[in-house]
Amino acid sequence: MTLPTRSDLDAVPAYRQGRPAPAGASKLSSNESPHPPLPSVVTAVQQQLGSIHRYPRMSAPEVIGRLAERYGVDPALVTVGAGSVELAAQLIGAVAGAGDEVMFAWRSFEAYPSLVRIAGATPVEVPLDADHRHDLDAMLAAITPRTRLVFVCNPNNPTGTVVGAAELERFVDAVPRDVLVVIDEAYVHFDRSEYFDGPDRGAGLELHRRYPHVAVLHTFSKAYGLAGLRIGYAIAPAEIADAQRKVAVPFGVTDLAQAAAVASLDAEAELAIRIDEVVAERDRMRDALLAAGWPAVASEANFVWVPAGDRTAELDELLHAGGVVARAFAGEGVRISSGNAEDADRVAAALAAATDGPAAGRLAAEGVLA
């Protein structure tokens, strides 16, 4: 006899982690920091090891206090979770259930549709436009009386494109006030577009201050390099934050992660140097892809999207043969995370190996193949 499970879970694929890389290869299949943790962060974590027999502080008082002070918001509006993905699940669970709709662009963050279905709600996918950006007009047109939440991943994963501040505000202003707009800024630290303003500022926080139906997601996983410790935060309207705490997994954020987050906030000057390096290698990697004839999209995240279409498997195999493990989306494209200089060199070398001699020489002459 087979034990029954929820029939609606048949439509929910298990989340697929980026492929591991064999020894000596570049693992660019997950949007991780290529840098090891800062010594000050390691020390902060080590100081917590003697108390791991105790449950963590669910209220995360030091992290939330620091973030509230930093952004000038009431601490009651700040919530933490095991990375921005868990916070996204909290927000969905706080506002949507059976019969409700949750909208997002597609392709966007791979977990959105699964999280929505797990909550019992209906995912509504609105195709990106021809430039691989959010089609905000189409998203507005798709809002119905059943819509409870709209995600705007900005910069978008996996395309790296952004919605500018002015167009994002026009969109937020047009969304009914009983629909929560969640601006997912997991990659905002890498954004050098027209609304970039400092190492940790996107358009979302300002819109949260001015509109009653806006929440913002940030994470310590990417720019701060804490992917393995799982901590992110949301800033949301008071009633939403209260509901998040009800649906959150108890003790989901360890004291180790909380200590690392505080130490990272104290080390932002060092982290900013690392972020600049990731951005520089991202752009160099895109130059190599373009020079080799692949249609790489200009990115404001820590990865590059190549909409290779029916050549997706070809590009993925080419990179793999050159010692690069990337994230392929069958029939759509390949996302290549930005690593260090050695990783970018390996990408360029893999591309050059598949072209003729003059093409390889051109990559070297243009400075994209060291």
What is the percent of the chain with per-residue pLDDT over 70, rounded to a whole number?
A: 92
Does 3 fall in a domain? Answer: no
Q: Identify which has the larger pLDDT, 201 or 23.
A: 23
Q: Identify which has the larger pLDDT, 310 or 22.
A: 310
Where residue 125 sits, what CATH number does that domain have?
3.40.640.10
Predicted local distance difference test score (pLDDT) of residue 354: 82
Is residue 259 over pLDDT 50?
yes
Does 346 fall in a domain? Answer: yes
Does 282 fall in a domain? Answer: yes
195 lies in the same domain as 237: yes
Does 181 fall in a domain? Answer: yes
50 lies in the same domain as 79: yes
Does 1 fall in a domain? Answer: no
Is residue 196 over pLDDT 70?
no
Mean pLDDT, residues 198-222: 87
Mean pLDDT, residues 313-332: 97
127 lies in the same domain as 234: yes
258 lies in the same domain as 279: no
331 lies in the same domain as 293: yes
Tokens of 76: 């009651």
Domain C-terminal end among 221, 239, 265: 265
* Cβ neighbours of 153 (radius 10 Å): 28
Band of pLDDT at residue 153, cut at 50, 70 and 90: very high
Domain C-terminal end among 215, 240, 265: 265
Predicted local distance difference test score (pLDDT) of residue 13: 80
48 lies in the same domain as 27: no
The string of pLDDT tens digits covering residues 44-102 is 999 999 999 999 999 999 999 999 999 999 999 999 999 999 999 999 999 999 999 99
Mean pLDDT of the chain: 93
In the sheet with 327-329, reading across from the earlier edge strand, the strands are 303-306, 333-337, 327-329
Does 171 fall in a domain? Answer: yes
The torsion angles phi and psi of 13, rounded to 5 degrees, stand at -75, 150
282 lies in the same domain as 326: yes
Is residue 357 over pLDDT 70?
no
Where residue 277 sits, what CATH number does that domain have?
3.90.1150.10
Q: How far apart are CA 366 and CA 358, in angstroms?
A: 12
Q: Identify which has the larger pLDDT, 13 or 278.
A: 278
126 lies in the same domain as 100: yes
Is residue 333 over pLDDT 60?
yes
With beta carbons less than 8 A apart as the criterion, state whether 148 and 119 touch.
no
Q: How far apart are CA 148 and CA 247, in angstroms?
A: 16
Predicted local distance difference test score (pLDDT) of residue 202: 72
96 lies in the same domain as 160: yes
Q: Which residues are CB-contacts of 4 (< 8 A; sequence separation ≥ 6)?
A: none
Domain of 226? 39-265
221 lies in the same domain as 353: no
Dihedral of CA 89/250/36/197: which sign?
positive
242 lies in the same domain as 292: no
Domain C-terminal end among 231, 246, 265: 265
Band of pLDDT at residue 256, cut at 50, 70 and 90: very high
Does 154 fall in a domain? Answer: yes
Is residue 218 over pLDDT 90?
yes
Q: How far apart are CA 324 and CA 288, in angstroms?
A: 14
86 lies in the same domain as 230: yes
Q: How far apart are CA 362 and CA 339, in angstroms?
A: 22
Q: Identify which has the larger pLDDT, 173 or 16.
A: 173
Mean pLDDT, residues 327-350: 97
The residue with tokens 């494209």 is: 333
Band of pLDDT at residue 363, cut at 50, 70 and 90: very low
In the chain, the amino acid numbered 131 is D
Predicted local distance difference test score (pLDDT) of residue 250: 95
Q: How far apart are CA 274 and CA 34, in angstroms?
A: 9
Is residue 320 over pLDDT 90?
yes
Predicted local distance difference test score (pLDDT) of residue 366: 52
Is residue 349 over pLDDT 50?
yes
Domains in the chain, number: 2
Does 13 fall in a domain? Answer: no
